[in-house]
Amino acid sequence: MQRGLILLFATVMVFVAMGVQGTSKRDNTKVSITRDYCGATKVCVETPDNCDPANTTCLFTSIHASDPKNSSTDLFIELSGSSQGYIAMGLTENATEGTTLLYVCARNTSNGGNNKFFFRTMERNNMNNSLSEAERSVTEIRGTVDESFIECMFNVSSVNATSIRNFTVLLGWGTVDGDGIKSFNVSRTEGPLSFDVLTGTTAAPTTTTTESRASYALQSHAVLLLLSVLTLTVLKTD
């Protein structure tokens, strides 16, 4: 009995580490995004202006910086809107040159996966709008999909505050081929913006911890090591 319980625990740990980056609304998970604290403790960008993110016609993002006046800060980001493929927000210093780091919240359009959420980070060439995969450390990813309505929250840790002192936000959408991200269509460009306008603090969004692809490999190796240790323990106790 003891051996069976230990092996079951190890198997569950492996599936947690390999798990998907989000859930659908068919599960008992809810992401609730509102305009609360916009302009007070978080920077908000939306289209149309002043729209309610609970409305599916609203494309909305908010960014809360844990300590914008420090040399390094954590960003807590919310994103919601409607798309048959994906919605995305991007941060850049200049929307017409250089690159934009895009945070993509999407629905899986492969066979049988239409209402499954997944997350990607992409780099956009601001000169020609081409996209390439970009591995970035993103944590606390949480997302839901209800038909074409997508909501997500995620954290970006240890961002250089100087680089985002004056930044531009891009909001947009695009199509998905299976789990491949296609061209980004810009719906709103807002900036330069600054976190210096914010006067208060608020708790970071409460989220369910999942890791971006950049962190999965480390997690998997750690869990496989744990599995090996547990298996040896079982063999020794037989």
Average pLDDT, stretch 79-104? Answer: 94
User: Does residue 238 lie within any of the structural domains?
Assistant: no
Supply the pLDDT for residue 68: 67
Supply the pLDDT for residue 86: 96
User: Does residue 4 lie within any of the structural domains?
Assistant: no
User: Does residue 13 lie within any of the structural domains?
Assistant: no
* Inter-CA distances, 161 with 14, 167, 194, 227, Å: 36, 10, 10, 40
User: Does residue 226 lie within any of the structural domains?
Assistant: no
User: Does residue 62 lie within any of the structural domains?
Assistant: yes
Average pLDDT, stretch 122-131? Answer: 94
CA-to-CA distance for 215 and 213, rounded, in angstroms?
Answer: 5
User: Does residue 183 lie within any of the structural domains?
Assistant: yes
Strands (E), the chain: 43-47, 59-65, 72-82, 86-92, 99-107, 117-125, 131-133, 138-146, 149-160, 167-177, 180-193
Indicate if the pLDDT at residue 52 is higher than 80.
yes
- Which pLDDT band, with edges at 50, 70 and 90, does 66 fall under? confident
CA-to-CA distance for 58 and 35, rounded, in angstroms?
Answer: 11
Identify which of 33-37, 106-110, 112-116, 201-205 has the greatest average pLDDT. 33-37
User: Does residue 223 lie within any of the structural domains?
Assistant: no
Q: How many domains does the chain have?
A: 1
Could you tell me the pTM of the whole model? Answer: 0.72
pLDDT in tens, 3-23: 433 333 232 333 232 333 444
- Range in 35-39, 69-73, 80-84, 211-215 with the lowest mean pLDDT: 211-215
- Range in 62-66, 70-74, 125-129, 202-206 with the lowest mean pLDDT: 202-206
The fraction of the chain above a pLDDT of 90, given in percent, is: 45
User: Does residue 84 lie within any of the structural domains?
Assistant: yes
pLDDT in tens, 228-237: 433 434 344 4
- For tokens 């954290």, the residue is 155
Single-letter residue type at 35: R
CA-to-CA distance for 234 and 3, rounded, in angstroms?
Answer: 6
Indicate which CATH number applies to the domain containing 73: 2.60.40
Domain extent for 122: 20-216
